[in-house]
């Protein structure tokens, strides 16, 4: 079964995708331009996506690359999606001497990367099979940000972050969108604050409930020491949300960042307030 899937995947990578064939879901990351280095875009595999039925998909780990079997073909073009909307393309560039090859690969990106976004900000594939949405991901408004930060401060306080530093919370990769289709805007984001001893990192999915209150459904927290490179430190960033199974509720793609490793989780809403990790894998580990 596994061998069949692997064969199908490599076949897919050299052929056209159709609805019932597995397809490779990749992340898209564009670095910032600096005086001595232009912006660069990289793609790397997140998962193999296989549609099982109208409202069911299965995510499996990409096969390990082996000599002669590459994930990419130079010049191949992938559609880029963000929040259910088309966001240009990436075209695979010739391999360079990047140590993360053959998993991560340089690409030429058309369309704008998300401003002020750390790490991957979109997904790509030869034919990205997701439900089209009408509300794109956006940055929260000033008012929404204040509300969200109040929730984040409470969560940090529960984690015993000193009150004196709670005014210095920095936010990264925060997106506002209606995740569950109830017409109320929800939020996903990463928040970081440092005290004299520790760096505290929080990743949250915050839903607006029926009463209008904000409710933290997913909480990931890490504390690491400031004084030395803490190899146990980890953090998380939002990559994108997409409705892969077409049930009207977005799945959330989270990138896990650790000491010289990275991978992805896909979260799916099991029932109200309860998000489960339905897939973990991908990434380059470099």
When the beta carbons of 206 and 249 are compared against Ca ion, the nearer one is 249
When the beta carbons of 144 and 178 are compared against Ca ion, the nearer one is 178
CA 156, 236, 82: angle at the middle one, nearest 5?
Answer: 120
When the beta carbons of 257 and 268 are compared against Ca ion, the nearer one is 268
CB of 59 to Ca ion, least distance (A): 12
When the beta carbons of 43 and 128 are compared against Ca ion, the nearer one is 128
CB of 219 to Ca ion, least distance (A): 18
Binding flag, residue 144, Ca ion (CB under 5 A): no
Q: Read off the tokens for 46.
A: 């997140």
1-28 exposure pattern, b = at least 16 Cβ within 10 A, e = fewer: eeeeebeebbebbeeebeeebbbbbbbb
The whole-angstrom separation of Cα 49 and Cα 123 is 12
DSSP assignment string, 152-211? HHHHHHHTT--GGGGGG-EEEEEEEE-SSSSSS-EEEEEEEEE-SSEEEEEEEEEEE-TT
- The residue count for binding Ca ion (CB under 5 A) is 9
When the beta carbons of 42 and 264 are compared against Ca ion, the nearer one is 264
Distances (CA, A) of 109 to 4, 59, 77, 81, 282: 32, 25, 10, 12, 21
When the beta carbons of 120 and 207 are compared against Ca ion, the nearer one is 207
The whole-angstrom separation of Cα 246 and Cα 231 is 39
When the beta carbons of 147 and 178 are compared against Ca ion, the nearer one is 178
When the beta carbons of 195 and 245 are compared against Ca ion, the nearer one is 245
Report the site for Ca ion in 215-274 (rule: CB under 5 A). Answer: 243, 245, 247, 249
Give me the 170-209 binding string for Ca ion, x by CB under 5 A, dash otherwise: --------x-x-x-x-x-----------------------
CB of 183 to Ca ion, least distance (A): 7
CB of 182 to Ca ion, least distance (A): 4
CB of 131 to Ca ion, least distance (A): 7
The whole-angstrom separation of Cα 27 and Cα 237 is 12
CB of 154 to Ca ion, least distance (A): 20
Terminal-to-terminal C-alpha distance of the chain: 29
The whole-angstrom separation of Cα 125 and Cα 66 is 20
In the sheet where 214-225 sits, what is the strand order? 170-177, 186-194, 198-208, 214-225
Residues that bind Ca ion (CB under 5 A): 178, 180, 182, 184, 186, 243, 245, 247, 249
């Amino acid at each position: 079964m596994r061998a069949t899937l692997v064969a199908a995947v490599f076949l897919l990578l050299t052929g056209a995708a159709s609805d019932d064939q597995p397809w490779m879901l990749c992340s898209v990351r564009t670095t910032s331009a600096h005086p001595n280095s232009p912006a660069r875009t990289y793609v790397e595999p997140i998962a193999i996506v296989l549609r099982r039925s109208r409202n069911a998909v299965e995510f499996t780990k990409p096969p390990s690359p082996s000599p002669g079997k590459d994930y990419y073909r130079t010049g191949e073009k992938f559609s880029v999606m963000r929040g259910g909307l088309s966001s240009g393309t990436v075209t695979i560039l010739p391999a360079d001497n990047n140590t993360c090859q053959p998993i991560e690969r340089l690409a030429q990106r058309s369309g704008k990367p998300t401003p002020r976004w750390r790490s991957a900000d979109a997904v790509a594939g030869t034919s990205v099979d997701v439900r089209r949405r009408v509300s794109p991901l956006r940055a929260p408004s000033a008012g929404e940000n204040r509300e969200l930060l109040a929730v984040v401060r409470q969560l940090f306080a529960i984690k015993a972050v000193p009150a004196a530093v709670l005014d210095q919370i920095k936010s990264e990769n925060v997106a506002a969108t209606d995740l569950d289709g109830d017409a109320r805007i929800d939020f996903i984001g990463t928040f970081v604050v440092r005290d004299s001893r520790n760096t505290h990192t929080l990743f949250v999915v915050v839903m607006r409930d029926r009463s209008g209150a904000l409710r933290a459904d997913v909480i990931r927290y890490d504390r690491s020491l400031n004084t030395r490179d803490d190899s146990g430190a980890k953090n998380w960033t939002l990559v994108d949300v997409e409705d892969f199974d077409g049930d009207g509720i977005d799945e959330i793609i989270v990138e896990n960042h650790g000491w010289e490793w990275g991978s992805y989780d896909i979260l799916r809403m099991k029932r109200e307030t309860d998000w489960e990790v339905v897939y973990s894998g991908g990434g380059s580990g470099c």
